[in-house]
Structure 1
């Protein structure tokens, strides 16, 4: 299994693992997951990495609905920094140990500051990458926040 699934198992919190046949030509990994799992895309979240003050070695994690976008100003404010930019793919992959499209907020190589969009609290459970394309974890947003030491802030738009 992936480091994300192993982290969920070790935590002994309730979760469900969902697998689907990923299409490598898919334009949006998250929207593909929502469609193939029969879920409302507002309940499926993507894991994005940002570079604090533009430094590709100082990263943070943003978790937002797949149908929305990350508000970079709101994310910077949540992290109490002047600005953030999207992390480069190779920096995100090196830091997390996952490939783009399969980056999970759980089981990353390094603990990074993590912010979850506040809309996640509206659902009993949310879906997010389990560490590879075609594999999603479902758990409560509160449990995800506990495992990642995340806070909830309005960072999506």
Structure 2
């Protein structure tokens, strides 16, 4: 179970006590915001893409949407989401619980600037009923295979 992988990953970093599990689903931004008790924009959604043989995760604010032009300019190819089965197989987390923690080698993690307007955000913790509150510095430090900050989203600045 991927929440157990994330729990172990966070335990090694002294953060396992911050994982929150809910009696309700937190699989979508809207459900996560209700479960956590914050505005949807503060939910850090992790989007999974394939680009050739590469697997890319983009963690963005809950109200942001991927801008295809920005994505292509940044990564050099078209944004193609991983399917449900592919996500579980290639990332190790099922859709609804995909997060940037406890990932296999080679899965690249990018954090989108849409999150930079918040002190803390709430990414999933490996299941569709979990979250963990983190500062942006912690997101950068504890995301597996973190590459860099990117600007590949729209609709979060009143665009």
Q: Fold conserved (TM > 0.5)?
A: yes
- 8 Å contact kept, 1:49–1:87: yes
Deviation (angstroms), 1:62: 0.8
Report whether the alignment pairs 1:129 with 2:124: yes
CA distance in 1, matches of 2:16, 2:4: 17
Where in structure 2 are the equivalents of 1:3-152 lying within 5 Å? 3-12=5-14, 16-23=18-25, 29-52=28-51, 55=52, 57-79=53-75, 81-148=76-143, 149-152=146-149
* TM-score, with structure 2 as normaliser: 0.81
CA distance in 1, matches of 2:58, 2:113: 11
- 8 Å contact kept, 2:8–2:16: no
* TM-score, with structure 1 as normaliser: 0.82
Say which SS state the counterpart of residue 7 (structure 2) adopts. Answer: helix
Question: Gaps (5+ residues) in structure 2?
Answer: 155-159
Deviation (angstroms), 1:131: 0.2
Deviation (angstroms), 1:110: 3.2
CA distance in 1, matches of 2:72, 2:57: 11
CA distance in 2, matches of 1:15, 1:144: 16
Calculate the aligned-residue CA RMSD, in Å: 2.3
Misfit runs of 4+, over 3 Å: 12-15
Say which SS state the counterpart of residue 113 (structure 1) adopts. Answer: strand
Residue by residue over 1:79-123, the C-alpha shift from the partner in whole angstroms, topping out at 9 and shown as x without a partner, is: 3x2333112222111011111111111012334221111122222
Residue by residue over 1:16-72, the C-alpha shift from the partner in whole angstroms, topping out at 9 and shown as x without a partner, is: 22222224xx8x6221011121101111111111111xx3x4210011122332223
CA distance in 2, matches of 1:110, 1:100: 19
